[in-house]
Chain A
Amino acid sequence: MIIVFMLIGALLVYLIMEYIYQKKWNKNLTVVIRFSKNNITAGEEAELIEVVTNRKWLPLPYINVKYQVDRSIVFEDGTDNFAVSDMVYRNDIFSLLMNQRITRRTRIACNRRGVYIIDKAQMVSTGMFMNDVMVADVKQSAELVVYPERADVEGLEVTYNKLMGNIERNRHLYEDPFAFRGIRDYVSTDALSAVNWKASARTGQLMVNQYNETTSQQVCILLNLEPEGALVRENLSEASISIASGLAQKLIESGIQVSMISNGADIVTREPVNAEAASGFSHIDTINNLLARIDLKAGQIDFGKILLDMDSDNKGVIYCMISQNRRADLQHKFNRLAGTTEGSVWIAPYLKDEEIMIKDANAHYIGWEVDCHAN
């Protein structure tokens, strides 16, 4: 009977080992998926980092980590390692000894603006003898914000120079007599009240005081993502967002306060994305972040209403509207708003060979040709 007992012993140990694996395989087993950067600009590269930690005395011969990401994310390791349909379905294989951690880094690139979230992953184990299939879900909080690509630099220069010219002119109009900046030579256009007589007496020629502006100059970007007609042209909307991003960056870099009002809905809250006026480099990130979060599929509220609700007595603010939609009532409302401040600009993205019809009144209109095949 020895041989029977031996076989029973072997069977028992086999079953016990399998049972232990079934019960303990995911104890102290963690999977963390994250991106190497919190934000990148469209076209830039980053890394997707998967960290699998097995903090126990039980080796795991075969673990599949499954998760899905938006197909806009391009993986460096080619398409052999995952399935692509509506999403990219990753299925990464790990094998860990006891108390071991494996960190896998995969280079990724993203050409589309947006917020890419990995909120859950699945761990699949096949047991000690690779006979079973055991599954466990793991929550993740990986988020990559892809900022919009900056719009064409040449096109931006024209708009930027136009806006800056207006800002410089307005600066002169709204000087603060309490914010003394310095003294300079008198020129014929200066008012006599500006002459500093003491300084003139000392130097022997007419000198005038210089003052800082009353308030910091502010540009408000009005981003309208409503399509021109019934047909939604995503490339025009994306171009509008890129222009807003590029312009905001350029203005903030010049020390101008920039605010933004948009009818684009946030991908999570579904509320229109707006930014208060601010300056400083962190504000570039704030605006880019907001622009990245716009979900074009969520629809847009009527921008005319937004323009109507805006305070028309907001002196010192230069408006820069970016709108592919050029309907008459929108033009009318924008003219009313732009009438309060000189130098407002309307940038109108349009597709090549498209007729652009805007009645010039209080604002400058800049047509922005967009390649049909863009995006």
Chain B
Amino acid sequence: MQTNSSMKGVRGILSVLELLIQCVMFLGITVPLNFGLLAKPENMWYSPLYILIPVIASYLIRKYTNNFALFAASNVLFIVYAVIAAGTGDDIFVYVVVMIVFVMYATNLKNNSIKRTDMDDMVAREGADTEKIKEEALKASLQGEHTSVAFVAIMLVGYFVGVIYESNAVMNIECMLCMVFIILQVIYHNMQQIFCVYSINNGKTEFPAKQIKTVNTFVTVTASCFIFISMIIFYNGEYGSIVSILGRGGAALVKFLVKCFLALLRLFGQENDEVQPETEPVTETHEEFETEIYENDSAALLNALAEAFGVVLIAALIILIMYGIKKYVINFNKVRKQGRDTIEFIKPADSKVKLDKMEKTKKTPVSRDVKSVRKIYKNRILYKTQGYAPDLTAMPSELTVKYITDDDIKVKKITGIYEKARYSEEEISQSDIDMMKKLS
């Protein structure tokens, strides 16, 4: 079921994720060094981004060429590039050290890549019967460019650099990078597992690749959303916590809508003069005043960018969730065929349980006359048995003979009335009740 094409797709996504994770990780190094250690002004927001060029270039060289000489030469070039990017003499040392760290990291990845190629060659040489080697080759290929989640420590250290140098921008950016890093790691981990499943089941005719992709995408997105929300709850940046940011965002939206409404009134009507004074005080808040001050301050640009990034992410997530719900609703009750599989949505279990419970508790209403007849009959029997329960296996006719009367005609009549009251849905007449009352 299209396993090969799905594998290609997943491999592509993994490559992009690997690159993104490496970019985030090295930004996590350069941001605190630039705005903390080197104390660059915050309007030079672009200065830490210099690392992205070597990260992307090195990744492409490692991934798509086997030429080691080219890789070595690129590493030398990167160091030269670091010297050029540093500009002034003070920064050169830090830039070069960062680049040397990057080169070492890239070399380590390259070594892993070489090992992986060797393993693939061994599998090709020794054939498919060496399952263990095949499994190890698969493991090695999965480990290839994987960046461990432990590297989140870089953002953690970067954040504390921001604390030491009292740089809000560094702290905010490190928080954002940390969030992105964790989410990318979650997505990468799941995609890696899917790739592993695809590789193991490659060649199977009935492998449901499409369904696995659909379900895992859903699970990954949901898990990422939850993790993101769990992280953002603790976030408390320049503009307060996420709750206050959302609150202010909501207020701004309401304000915007009111303004639009007033503009419309002004366009068509005469009453705008009356409305205008009422809306004026709304615009004058303390937060807005603060915002206006920051607008002119280029130092706040980075903070604003970080906050904006967070808000955009939340908006994207909300849209994604809504899209997911819409798709779920559209596909509900649809029966799809996928190869030999028939896939259908079913009703949730809970509703069935509730229905069963309702059916159990539902009682047929019993009329007063029926109750009266049953009660008279019961009391008459209990009177004779002196309060003891009669033989519960006995039929009403037997009980009537034993405890009420032995007259055949009366027995028939009394038993008939009781059975009508006890087991049928027929109505009890007044004469029936009178007949029963005569007993007592």
Mark A residues whose CB is within 8 Å of B: 2-10, 12-14, 17, 28, 53, 55-57, 59-62, 77-78, 80-81, 92-97, 99-106, 126, 128-130
Which residue on chain A has the smallest CB distance to residue B203? A80
B88 interface hit (Cβ, 8 Å): no
Q: A7-B178, A10-B227 are in contact. Are A59 and B215 (CB under 8 A)?
A: yes
- Is there a chain A Cβ closer than 8 Å to B189's Cβ? yes
Give bound CA distance, A238 to B328, whole Å.
Answer: 55
B201 touches A93 (CB 8 A): yes
Are A77 and B205 interface neighbours, CB within 8 A? yes
Chain A to chain B: the 10 pairs with minimum beta-carbon distance, closest first: A130-B193, A5-B234, A13-B230, A9-B230, A6-B231, A95-B215, A3-B159, A55-B349, A95-B212, A103-B342
Residues of B within 8 A of A80 (CB): 203-205
Q: CA–CA, A230 to B231, complex, Å?
A: 78
B interface residues, tally (CB under 8 Å)? 55
Main secondary structure of the interface of A (DSSP, over half): mixed
B68 within 8 A of A: no
- For A100, list chain B residues within 8 Å (CB): 343-346
What sequence of 0s and 1s flags, for each residue 304-340 of chain B, a beta carbon within 8 Å of any chain A beta carbon? 0000000000000000000000001000000000001
Q: Could you jot down 22 A-B contacts, CB within 8 Å?
A: A2-B171, A6-B179, A6-B232, A7-B152, A7-B178, A13-B226, A28-B349, A55-B346, A59-B219, A61-B219, A62-B197, A94-B211, A95-B212, A97-B345, A99-B345, A99-B347, A100-B345, A102-B211, A102-B341, A104-B206, A129-B190, A130-B194
Q: Does B207 contact A (CB under 8 A)?
A: yes
Flag if A97 contacts B215 (CB, 8 Å): yes
8 A Cβ contacts from B24-50 to A: none
Tell whether, in the assembled complex, residue A96 and residue B215 are in contact, meaning their CB atoms are under 8 Å apart.
yes
Which of B178, B194, B206, B328 is A77 in contact with, Cβ under 8 Å?
B206
Other-chain residue from A6, A13, A95, A126 in contact with B178 (beta carbon distance below 8 A): A6
CB pair A2–B218 under 8 Å, yes or no, is: no
Which B residues form the contact surface with A (CB < 8 A)? 152, 155-156, 159, 171, 174-175, 178-179, 182, 186, 189-190, 193-194, 196-197, 201, 203-208, 211-212, 214-216, 218-219, 222-223, 226-227, 229-237, 328, 340-349
User: Which residues of A sit under 8 angstroms from B212, Cβ to Cβ?
Assistant: 61-62, 93, 95
In angstroms, Cα B231 to Cα A2, docked, is 9
Kindly provide the distance from the CB of B404 to the nearest chain A CB, expressed in whole angstroms. Answer: 53
* B218 / chain A contacts, CB cutoff of 8 Å: 59, 97
> What residues on B are CB-neighbors of A12 within 8 Å?
230
Check A56 against B349 for contact (C-beta < 8 Å): yes
> Which of chain A's residues have a CB closer than 8 A to the CB of B205?
77-78, 80-81
Q: A57 contacts which of B175, B204, B348 (Cβ < 8 Å)?
A: B348
How far apart are the CA atoms of A100 and B216 in the complex, in Å? 14
**Across-interface contacts of A3 in B (CB, < 8 A):** 155-156, 159, 171, 174-175, 178
Complex Cα spacing A103 to B219, Å: 21
Please give, as numbers and ranges, the residues of chain A lying within 8 Å of B348 by CB-CB distance.
55-57, 99
Are A4 and B349 within 8 A (Cβ)?
no
A349 to B190, CA, bound (A): 63
CA distance A57 to B347 in the complex (A): 11
CA–CA, A57 and B348, complex, Å: 8
Instruction: With A61-B216, A95-B211 as known contacts, state yes or no: A126 contacts B206, CB within 8 Å.
Output: no
Chain B contacts for A128, CB-based, 8 A: 219, 223
Q: Tell me if B156 and A4 are in contact (CB < 8 A).
A: yes
Q: Compute how far the CA of A99 lies from the CA of B349 in the bound complex, rounded to whole angstroms.
A: 8
A121 to B196, CA, bound (A): 24
B223/A129 in contact, CB under 8 A = yes
Residues of A near B193 (CB, < 8 A) are 126, 129-130
Chain A contacts for B227, CB-based, 8 A? 10, 13-14
**Least CB separation from B210: chain A residue:** A95
Give 8 A-B pairs besides A3-B155, A100-B346 with Cβ atoms closer than 8 angstroms: A5-B234, A6-B179, A7-B178, A10-B230, A56-B349, A93-B207, A97-B214, A97-B215
Complex CA gap A13/B175 in Å reads 18
Complex Cα distance, B343 from A9, in Å, reads: 36
Whether B206 contacts A81 by the Cβ 8 Å rule is: yes
* Closest beta carbon of chain A to B151's beta carbon, Å: 13
Q: Are the C-beta atoms of B207 and A2 separated by less than 8 Å?
A: no
Closest B residue by C-beta to A60? B215
Contact of B234 among A2, A96, A105, A106 (CB under 8 A): A2
A13 contacts across to B, CB distance below 8 A:
226-227, 229-230
Q: Which residues of B contact A5 (CB under 8 A)?
A: 234
* Contact residues in B for A4 (Cβ distance below 8 Å): 156
**Chain A contacts for B235, CB-based, 8 A:** 2, 6
Residues of chain B within 8 A of A102, CB atoms compared: 211, 341-343
Q: What residues of chain B lie closer than 8 Å to A94, measured between beta carbons?
A: 208, 211
Contacts of A77 in B (CB 8 A): 205-206, 340
Give the complex CA separation of A101 and B237 in angstroms: 45
- Quick one: which of A57, A61, A106 contacts B340, CB cutoff 8 A? A106
Residues A101 and B344 in contact, CB atoms below 8 Å apart? yes
Is B233 within 8 A of A9, CB to CB?
Answer: yes
A375 to B367, CA, bound (A): 74
Contacts of B155 in A (CB 8 A): 3
